[in-house]
Amino acid sequence: MKSSIKHILKKYLKYYKVQKRFHKSVRAEQEDLVLYYQASLAGNNLPNIKETGFKLFSQFEEDGLLLYIFSIIGMTKKTFIEFGADDGINSNSANLFYNHDFEGLFIDGNEKALERGRYFFNRHKNHNNNSPVFKQAFIKAENINQLFQDAGFEGEIGLLSIDIDGNDYWVWKAIEVVSPQVVIIETHNEFGMNDIIVPYDPNYFYPGKHPTYHGASPVAMTKLAKKKGYRLVGANELGFNLIFVRNDLAQDYIPEVSVESLLTHPSNIQAQARFEEVKDWKYITED
């Protein structure tokens, strides 16, 4: 069974490299893939999450990783919130919107990007659900909960995706009005295995004082996740988009992994070399 699933995964990985996003069979192919994951769960033969990545809308292979996770925990809350995704097209949520009927909210500071997103999602509708909500705002720890509430999003949601190239750590720490099942968040793998966070700056705008001096290390982000009741389960191949699952969901089937196991790509050596320029700057370590 295991080799059969590997063969199936290989087929889909190849498929999404050559087919268009809105090819008529994409949705059916993904629904079949969900059934294979669920069958492998029943047969106690799940593939390793590292084998499941593919890219359809996401920047890297996050689409496949997230589909695998939601196949196992169940798509019981088909709601997403994503901020920092520009126009929302090449996002972590678009595949879930189009092929699995998630609804949700995109927030970004760039109104022109949001206009592109509105145009795209209106032109390419999913008639099974409502179009995403697009909200323009400069995101801070102080306003994030109000932004969600003003847009009508509270309580449990399926996915929270954070990528704002700056205060990601502090904004996630501040979030209280939603309880995501899954969180995917960008970390700064330039910081390697150091347990450090760049201090909060409510007025930060990338690249700030230095393009490497922002965000939090994977170690620090994982510590925050544990405080909020989440475990680290995977990442994109390059190791900077970390994925966390809430601890009450599928612990026996989607196990916790170590930060070290996700920082093995050769690009991490080059990334960590960039830390040398700012290693003596001010950082915070939280208990």
Decide if 40 is inside a domain.
Answer: no
Q: Is the pLDDT of residue 1 over 50?
A: no
Decide if 237 is inside a domain.
Answer: yes
Decide if 121 is inside a domain.
Answer: yes
In DSSP terms, which residues pair with 108 in a beta bridge? 136
Q: Report the CATH number that the domain containing residue 168 is assigned in CATH.
A: 3.40.50.150
pLDDT, tens digit (0-9, with 9 covering 90-100), for 230-239: 999 999 999 9
Using alpha carbons, select from 159, 29, 191 the residue that is nearest to residue 93.
159
H-assigned helices in the chain: 2-18, 26-42, 62-73, 94-100, 111-123, 144-150, 168-174, 218-227, 267-273
Decide if 59 is inside a domain.
Answer: no
Domain tally, the chain: 1
Decide if 14 is inside a domain.
Answer: no
Decide if 46 is inside a domain.
Answer: no
Q: Is the pLDDT of residue 9 over 90?
A: no
pLDDT band at 229 (very low <50, low <70, confident <90, very high): very high
Give the Å distances, CA to CA, from 73 to 9, 46, 132, 225, 253: 19, 13, 23, 18, 9
Name the residue range of residue 186's domain: 66-277
CB 55 within 8 A of CB 16: yes
pLDDT, tens digit (0-9, with 9 covering 90-100), for 23-73: 878 898 899 899 999 999 998 989 999 999 989 999 999 999 999 999 999
Decide if 57 is inside a domain.
Answer: no
Decide if 20 is inside a domain.
Answer: no
User: Whole-angstrom Cα distance, residue 162 to residue 139?
Assistant: 11
